[in-house]
Chains A and B, each alone.
Chain A
Amino acid sequence: DTAVSQTPKYLVTQMGNDKSIKCEQNLGHDTMYWYKQDSKKFLKIMFSYNNKELIINETVPNRFSPKSPDKAHLNLHINSLELGDSAVYFCASSPLPASGPDYEQYFGPGTRLTVT
């Protein structure tokens, strides 16, 4: 069973296009996240949602818009794609409470986005 899944796995598109990446988790978790891993493998959080409510919104261009239709899904829509958006985007989910020993973030397989 795939715990956190993302589609597509690879996405190649041209500058200026609009694209979406989908994420689904079947772990029953309340919180979901999007991370960006750049070409130097540096991982940085972009957004997190808890029960469809936006919790974390890091300094990300407003061309990026997360959408959470329900707590099992967190999609990432990107408008007017730029070359610098090329990266691997990881979705993750976690249970609550975060203070418990069972807390960890479970990561999806990543979506490699290439903007040409």
Chain B
Amino acid sequence: AQSVSQHNHHVILSEAASLELGCNYSYGGTVNLFWYVQYPGQHLQLLLKYFSGDPLVKGIKGFEAEFIKSKFSFNLRKPSVQWSDTAEYFCAVNLREYGNKLVFGAGTILRVKS
């Protein structure tokens, strides 16, 4: 079955620290990859997405992610986090052959201490 694994469920960082959130997926077909963010009390918002081309994609608010096909990974990074980055982050894989089914990871709660 298709699945998405996020390695860390809770991450606590101090402001200005660097961030890397791991994401691996298990699916051998064509995928599109996404990172969504859910700020406290808000709905899901798209951070960035990968479709094709350059495996290093840049998103909003200084986030970036790298698609490594051989490792089935799509890790999210930010060089210097801010208190306002406190949120829950979801990695997701879009399975085109399954009617564009979006399969989410379990989420990573990031808390940034000021």
A positions within 8 Å CB-CB of B: 31, 33, 35, 40-45, 48, 50, 55-56, 90, 92, 94, 98-101, 103-110
Among A31, A42, A50, A103, point to the contact of B51 (Cβ < 8 A): A103
Report how many A-B pairs have Cβ atoms within 8 Å.
62
What is the interface residue range for chain B against chain A?
20 to 34
B positions within 8 Å CB-CB of A: 32, 34, 36, 42-46, 49, 51-52, 88, 90, 94, 96, 98-104, 106-107, 109
CB distance A31 to B100 under 8 Å?
yes
Quick one: closest B residue to A104, CB to CB?
B46
Interface of B: prevailing SS? strand
Nearest chain B CB to A9's CB is how many angstroms away?
11
CB distance B100 to A107 under 8 Å?
no
A62 to B99, CA, bound (A): 20
